[in-house]
């Protein structure tokens, strides 16, 4: 700790690169050291922000002043039991590391985000969801137990049977109750290193939602790219990618594809992208983040995608199906110099059509259309301060252009209000604009009161903080006490 505090503060950013803060940084090599540093900081009343892979878009893993405790080096897979598909890991193990280890034995993490560099602790703290959320639930559903080190130094093993309140609150609790020092996770069976994918095109938001509601029983994954530039009757038109897991015996080369899926990825021309100087592709793609460039790119994608949509199943490897954007290192740099804000709204099915149309229309009316829009089908979770609900989410990417930032922030807060008006929620892991009042409107008062009581019990000195906490969560928790 002394050493970390002696070194100059560092600039640390959210993944979207707009939100940033300066703090000291420590990156201990194992979970013991993580717990010890947290206890030491607590004794000195120094605020601590926990950080995993730094993939949260906004300010969930940054802090102005104090100490950022980077958990990504504590990254050992401690126990892997291939007979039962159960793994016990340190917090910094990434989702991609986990895949690599378990897939050759015929298992896969049941829930994965769109980026392999996310750590299991970050995934647990945000209770992340995958393209299969509507079928498989959220990351927290795959956690059997975890050890949580509190700022006092106490270490608690939590599960659905032991400290169940803390279990439900720390999952999705955004690193504000304690540090995960080890997690035990249930894997799902994989009968192949490949999955089937098919693509279809739908000319309006209503048609796209209808197609997603009518998904066939064997479809497990669904994600729709939505044409963010389309307005009027074509508003919300999009390309739907559906995926299905292969059943036992369907892949005659299962042993080989299970072994090779990760080793051979990225394959073909995509492999060349990795050989280019890092930053080159994002720099070339930068014009696409201008308003005109984004409109052109969206229209082109719709035209090409709708022509190519075949409705036929095509076999692709797991990493290609799950992490297509990971093949371009640092693609978020295409949003430099201003970075980006993502607004991800979750709406119940009953209001999704009207609510998403209202969000897109409002952005266009403000003269700040999103560059990218992605829709998923979602399912509620039992996390205490959960963002998930039975319905749909729409993620809108907004580049932060020079001279537009103030208008964009005002728009984002308006979009938050529209989402709340339609009975929706927003996602803390993507957020950088929610106000405390909006958090109080979004979450049931009893959930906020439960979380506030646990925060007071687990972290009485308020050692665990983040800019998200200071901006929106702390005042909302105080109001709920």
Ligand X SMILES: Cc1cc2nc3c(=O)[nH]c(=O)nc-3n(C[C@H](O)[C@H](O)[C@H](O)COP(=O)(O)OP(=O)(O)OC[C@H]3O[C@@H](n4cnc5c(N)ncnc54)[C@H](O)[C@@H]3O)c2cc1C
106 binds ligand X (CB under 6 A): no
Which residues, 367 to 406, sit near ligand X by CB under 6 A? none
d(CA 399, CA 209): 26
Q: Tell me which of 66, 109, 114, 266 binds ligand X, using CB under 6 A.
A: 114
Using the rule CB under 6 A, give the single segment among 40-48, 113-121, 211-219, 472-480 that binds ligand X. 113-121
Q: At what angle do helices 349-365 and 205-213 cross, to 10 degrees?
A: 150
Residues 256-275 within binding reach of ligand X (CB under 6 A): none
Q: Which is nearer to ligand X, 114 or 236 (CB)?
A: 114
Kindly give, in sequence order, each residue whose CB lies less than 8 Å from that of residue 459, ignoring residues fewer than 6 positions away. 42, 150, 151, 176, 177, 178
- Characterize 161-187 residue by residue with b for buried, 16 or more Cβ atoms within 10 angstroms of its Cβ, and e for exposed: eebeebbbbbbbbbbbbbbbbbbbbeb
The closest residue (CB) to ligand X is 122
**How many residues in the shown chain lie near ligand X by CB under 6 A?**
32
**Segment lying near ligand X (by CB under 6 A), choices 123-131, 191-199, 245-253, 414-422:** 123-131
Burial class (CB in 10 A: 0-12, 13-18, 19+), 364: middle
Residue 82 or 329 having the CB closest to ligand X: 329
Q: Which of residues 153-192 bind ligand X (CB under 6 A)?
A: 174-175, 179-180
Pick the closer one to ligand X by CB: 352 or 358: 352
Least Cβ distance, residue 16 to ligand X (angstroms): 8
61 binds ligand X (CB under 6 A): yes
Residue 35: name the closest of 171, 210, 178, 158 by CA. 178
Q: How far is the CB of 82 from ligand X (least distance, A)?
A: 25
Stretch that binds ligand X, among 2-10, 112-120, 200-208, 288-296 (CB under 6 A): 112-120
Regarding 151 and contact with ligand X (CB under 6 A), the answer is: no
Q: Is the peptide bond before 15 cis (omega within 30 degrees of 0)?
A: no
* 99 interacts with ligand X by CB under 6 A: no
How many angstroms separate the CA atoms of 141 and 145, rounded? 10
330 in Cβ contact with 273 (< 8 Å): no
For ligand X, give the closer residue by CB, 70 or 245: 70
CA distance 212 to 375: 10
Specify the stretch interacting with ligand X by CB under 6 A; choose among 35-43, 55-63, 96-104, 403-411.
Answer: 55-63
Among 76, 100, 115, 198, which residue interacts with ligand X (rule: CB under 6 A)? 115
Tell the smallest beta-carbon distance from residue 12 to ligand X (Å).
10
Kindly tell me which residue out of 1, 12, 15, 343 binds ligand X, with binding defined by CB under 6 A: 15
Asked whether position 193 contacts ligand X by CB under 6 A, the answer is: no
Q: Does 150 bind ligand X (CB under 6 A)?
A: no
- To ligand X, the closest distance from the beta carbon of 155 in angstroms equals 12
C-beta closer to ligand X: residue 223 or 363: 223
Asked whether position 125 contacts ligand X by CB under 6 A, the answer is yes
Q: Does 128 bind ligand X (CB under 6 A)?
A: yes
| 41 is an interface residue for ligand X by CB under 6 A | no
Q: How far is the CB of 324 from ligand X (least distance, A)?
A: 10
126 counts as binding ligand X under rule CB under 6 A: yes
Task: State residue 271 phi and psi, 5-degree precision.
Answer: -60, -35
| From candidates 247, 303, 304, 325, binder to ligand X by CB under 6 A | 325
CB 49, CB 69: distance < 8 Å: yes
* Span from 118-126, 199-207, 225-233, 472-480 in contact with ligand X (CB under 6 A): 118-126
Contact 396, 373 (CB under 8 A): yes
d(CA 62, CA 44): 20
**Which of 166, 400, 429, 477: binder of ligand X (CB under 6 A)?**
429
| Strand ordering across the sheet containing 10-13 | 10-13, 20-26, 67-70, 48-51
CB count, 10 Å around CB of 11?
A: 10
Identified binder of ligand X from the candidate list 118, 230, 363, 389, rule CB under 6 A: 118
Shortest reach from residue 471's CB to ligand X, in Å: 13
- Taking the least distance from each CB to ligand X, the nearer of 180 and 398 is 180
> Do residues 34 and 52 touch, judged by C-beta distance below 8 A?
no
- Taking the least distance from each CB to ligand X, the nearer of 72 and 257 is 72
Residue in 91, 137, 236, 399 binding ligand X, rule: CB under 6 A: 91
At CA 320, angle to CA 317 and CA 323, rounded to 5?
A: 135
Which pair of tokens denotes residue 262? Answer: 């990760």
The distance of closest approach from Cβ of residue 84 to ligand X in the complex, given in angstroms and rounded to an integer, is 25
Residues that bind ligand X (CB under 6 A): 15, 50-56, 60-61, 71, 91, 113-115, 118-119, 121-123, 125-126, 128-130, 174-175, 179-180, 325, 429, 466
């Amino acid at each position: 700790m002394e050493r970390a505090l002696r070194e100059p503060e560092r600039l640390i950013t959210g993944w979207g690169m707009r939100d940033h803060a300066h703090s000291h940084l420590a990156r201990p090599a194992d979970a013991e050291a993580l717990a010890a540093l947290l206890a030491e900081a607590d004794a000195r009343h120094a605020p601590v922000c926990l950080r995993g892979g730094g993939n949260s878009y906004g300010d969930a893993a940054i802090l102005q002043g104090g100490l950022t405790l980077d958990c990504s080096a504590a990254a050992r897979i401690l126990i892997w039991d291939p007979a039962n598909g159960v793994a016990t890991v340190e917090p910094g193990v990434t989702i991609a590391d986990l895949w690599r280890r378990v897939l050759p034995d015929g298992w896969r993490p049941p829930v994965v985000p769109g980026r392999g560099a996310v750590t299991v602790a970050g995934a647990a703290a945000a209770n992340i969801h995958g393209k299969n959320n509507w079928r498989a639930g959220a990351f927290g559903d795959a956690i059997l137990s975890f050890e949580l080190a509190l700022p006092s130094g106490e270490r608690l093993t939590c599960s659905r049977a032991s400290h169940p309140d803390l279990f439900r609150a720390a999952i999705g609790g955004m690193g504000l109750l304690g540090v995960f020092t080890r997690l035990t996770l249930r894997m799902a069976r994989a009968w192949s290193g490949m999955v089937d994918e098919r693509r279809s095109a739908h000319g309006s938001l209503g048609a796209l939602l209808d197609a997603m509601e009518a998904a066939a029983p064997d479809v497990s994954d669904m994600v729709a790219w939505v044409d963010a530039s389309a307005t009027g009757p074509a508003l919300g038109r999009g390309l739907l990618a559906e995926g299905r897991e292969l059943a036992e015996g369907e892949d005659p080369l299962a042993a080989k594809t299970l072994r090779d899926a990760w080793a051979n990825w990225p394959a073909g021309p995509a492999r060349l992208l990795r050989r280019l100087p890092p930053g080159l592709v994002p720099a070339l793609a930068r014009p696409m983040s201008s308003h005109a460039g984004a409109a052109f790119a969206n229209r082109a994608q719709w035209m090409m995608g709708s022509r190519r949509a075949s409705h036929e199943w095509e076999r692709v490897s797991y990493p290609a199906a799950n992490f297509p954007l990971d093949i371009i290192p640092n693609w978020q740099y295409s949003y430099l110099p201003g970075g980006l804000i993502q607004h991800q709204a979750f709406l119940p099915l009953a209001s999704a059509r009207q609510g998403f149309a209202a969000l897109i229309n409002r952005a266009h009316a403000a003269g700040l259309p999103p560059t990218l829009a992605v829709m998923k089908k979602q399912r509620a979770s039992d996390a205490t301060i959960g963002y998930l609900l039975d319905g749909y989410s729409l993620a809108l990417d907004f580049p932060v252009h020079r001279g537009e930032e103030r208008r964009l922030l005002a728009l984002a807060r308006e979009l938050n209000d529209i989402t709340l008006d339609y009975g929706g929620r927003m996602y803390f892991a993507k957020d950088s604009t929610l106000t405390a009042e909006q958090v109080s409107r979004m979450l049931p008062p009893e959930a906020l009161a439960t979380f506030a009581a646990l925060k007071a019990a687990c972290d009485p000195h308020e050692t665990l903080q983040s800019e998200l906490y200071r901006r929106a969560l702390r005042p909302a928790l105080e109001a709920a006490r």
